[in-house]
Amino acid sequence: MPASQPRSRARDRNNVLNRAEFLSLNQPLKGNQESRSCGRKQSGQAGAAGAPNTNPKERRQSQQLPEEDCMQLNPSFKGIAFNSLLAIDICMSKRLGVCANRASSWGGARSMINLLGITGHGIPWIAGTLICLVKSSTLAGQEVLMNLLLALLLDIMIVAGLQKLAKRKGPYDINPGLLDYLTMDTYAFPAGHASRVAMLSKFFLNHLVLAIPLRILLVLWALCVGFSRVMIGRHHITDVLSGFVFGYLQFRLVELIWMSSNTCQMLISIW
């Protein structure tokens, strides 16, 4: 019997399945179990002498760290798909930011793209609506203009609230302009210009009698203003697309709370 024990130990050491790379992480090595236990005792004594104030809670947290790391290294399918789409969105938005700065490929057209973006800004539209409301003398015109003013104010408040919640930065580090600060359009998601032009184009298509060429030009204007924000590097592609969606939803909201002519006349008389 004593001679058979060293032989079995030698066979266990030479067995390929007993090597470290074939063992489970939860099972200790048989040959080195005693040496590891001795090493743990010595390290435990040294740790107890060096850090006598270690709490059991901290030791428990340190033992749970490897499990937490393993959980982070095994994401779900939804997480992988979301991160992949996010990476594609950022990459495509950076490539389309051809007017992000003067050194870009289309840097010379930056001023023209900025001018196109101003046509979809909230401050000029609110000022123009107020001027037209003052000069309007018909009840139908005043009703449409008052509801348009309501839609513009709702757009600014809704977009500003969503941007404060999301706090997403743009693809390029570009500081917002003065008009952007006035309308609280300082973050990327959703794009305020895109939501505004989508709401305005839908509003005019529903409440103004326009010829077919003008209707096509109105839709093209909304698309150009929205994607011009990607070209200057202020928004991602998904920010602009989500802005179009929110603009349509804002139009539907204004249609639900549409103010009648009597309500508009009462508000005008108070003002």
Across residues 102-122, what is the average pLDDT? 85
CA dist 197 to 7, 231, 244, Å? 84, 17, 8
Provide the total of helices (H) and of strands (E) in the chain, helices listed first: 12, 0
Interval 231-255: pLDDT, tens: 998 899 999 999 999 999 999 999 9
Closest CA to 102 of 233, 260, 256: 233
Residue 268 carries which side chain, given as an amino acid letter? I
Active-site entry in 121, 193, 207, 236: 193
Q: Based on the residue annotation, tell me whether 235 is a catalytic residue of this protein.
A: yes
Q: Which of 121, 207, 235, 236 is catalytic?
A: 235
pLDDT 10s digits, 45-89: 544 444 445 455 555 554 554 444 444 555 677 778 888 888 888
pLDDT in tens, 34-50: 444 445 545 445 444 44
